[in-house]
Structure 1
Amino acid sequence: MSKKTRLALFDLDHTLLPIDSDYSWGVFTQEIGWTDPVVFKRRNDEFYEHYKAGTLDVHDYVRFATEAIRLRGREASQRARERFLREVIGPAVRPEALALVRAHQAAGDHTVIVTATNEFVTEPIARLFGVQDLVAVRLATGADGWITGEIEGVPSMRGGKVARMDQWLRERGLGWDSVETTFYSDSTNDLPLLERVDQPVATNPDERLRAIAAQRGWRILDLFSPIP
């Protein structure tokens, strides 16, 4: 019998990071003067509350969240993202999270970040964690090669994370029966994937997920306390 490939899957926001990178990027665009500090903040807060409640329309949110970079263009947006990574994300990365990823890699596990945040924000964050494989919300591009504000394919959110992992496995000639999977997540938004993997780990879980994990006997990992 061939040995199964071991996969360690990680949600990103509030799981590997103690902050929400998508929301934080929105705050950052306010701070650098790209978005209206009053109107944008109100809508960003509203979308974030919908996300936490599991009612977010991800298509509407992505149009909203990418408007500033669509208008500013590729070069300015990439420069801003480098600054965001340096000033916001870098200081938020905790050694405990890095150690968790490294431990799986040292054990020979293939690591994948599976996030509902878009690829523009998360690609450099995945590299920061040393994770080569990223399953994130893909952004459609227009004739000019720059993003349009629409989503390409299935968004990696809620049940979409399972669909995208189905695709990821097929592209590598794998199936769920040929892998041994662990998934770390903080949110009930990720219940579909938590229920699909072999080893679900409720990581820094919200109250609802903590209760579900306790009831089902899932492992609970308090990796760190969230930043207020």
Structure 2
Amino acid sequence: MNLALFDLDHTLINGDSDVEWTRFMISRGLLDGDHHNRTNDAFYQDYLDGTLDIQAYLAFQVAPLARYDRATLDRLHREFMAERIFPVIPRKARERIAEHKAAGDLLMIITATNRFVTAPIARELGVDNLIAIELEEDGEGKFTGRPSGVPSYREGKVTRLMAWLAERGETLDSYGKSYFYSDSRNDIPLLSKVTDPVAVNPDDTLRAHALAHGWPVISLRD
């Protein structure tokens, strides 16, 4: 069996689900647009530059979730999926997932976006395994507005994946091949660990790195 790992944002979807969630909440009048757009844009530029302070970003991004109960958040997320996510899932991404499923591979999405935002997207894509930013909950299942555990970002993706494999009594060597599809320079640490790294619509840094190392460069956009 092979292992097929996928980044989510700008890899399997044509956009950033975290950014789109913020824009969706602003469109509903649930967040202050000027403040959040300005701050989010600054964090996103840091992400593109490879200089993101992940803890500061998470503190900013997940705090608003604590304002609402889970029933309200789940209702909002269904609307978010219909308005913001379904339109940005490319046919080619679904086809690549289907190819790996047909080959009998084990599939996983591993993302630096939080589980609340990404779990329904993973389900829509038909991927059962997900490593994402975990969120702290109170005793009644309400989000506290704080992240939990090791962030699945840069080297943290490697740490989280190795821990997940260890829980299964496995390593990457347990699989004949291990694929990882990503668009971002921030994923070079994990791309460098798998047997078959694939740069998908890569940023300039990842494109140059991929070409220098003989990694395939593809597009999953329609």
Structure 2 match to 1:15: 11
Q: How does 1:31-46 map to 2 (within 5 A)?
A: 31-46=27-42
Q: How does 1:133-212 map to 2 (within 5 A)?
A: 133-179=129-175, 180-212=177-209
Calculate the aligned-residue CA RMSD, in Å.
1.1
Q: Which moved more, 1:154-163 or 1:142-151?
A: 142-151
The separation in 2 between residues aligned to 1:85 and 1:222, in whole angstroms, is: 23
Shift of 1:83: 0.4
Structure 2 match to 1:216: 213
Q: Do the aligned partners of 2:65 and 2:145 also contact (CA within 8 Å) in 1? A: no
| Long gaps (5+) in structure 1 | none
Shift of 1:215: 0.8
Q: Deviations over 1:6-26 (max 9, x none)?
A: 100000000001100011111
Aligned residues: 221
Shift of 1:44: 1.0
The reply on whether 1:85 has 2:78 as its aligned counterpart is: no
| Long gaps (5+) in structure 2 | none
User: Which runs of 4 or more aligned residues in structure 1 lie more than 3 Å from their structure 2 counterparts after TM superposition?
Assistant: none
Structure 2 match to 1:117: 113
TM-score, normalization: structure 2? 0.96
Shift of 1:140: 1.3
Q: Which moved more, 1:133-142 or 1:122-131?
A: 133-142
The separation in 1 between residues aligned to 2:220 and 2:86, in whole angstroms, is: 17
Aligned sequence identity (%): 46
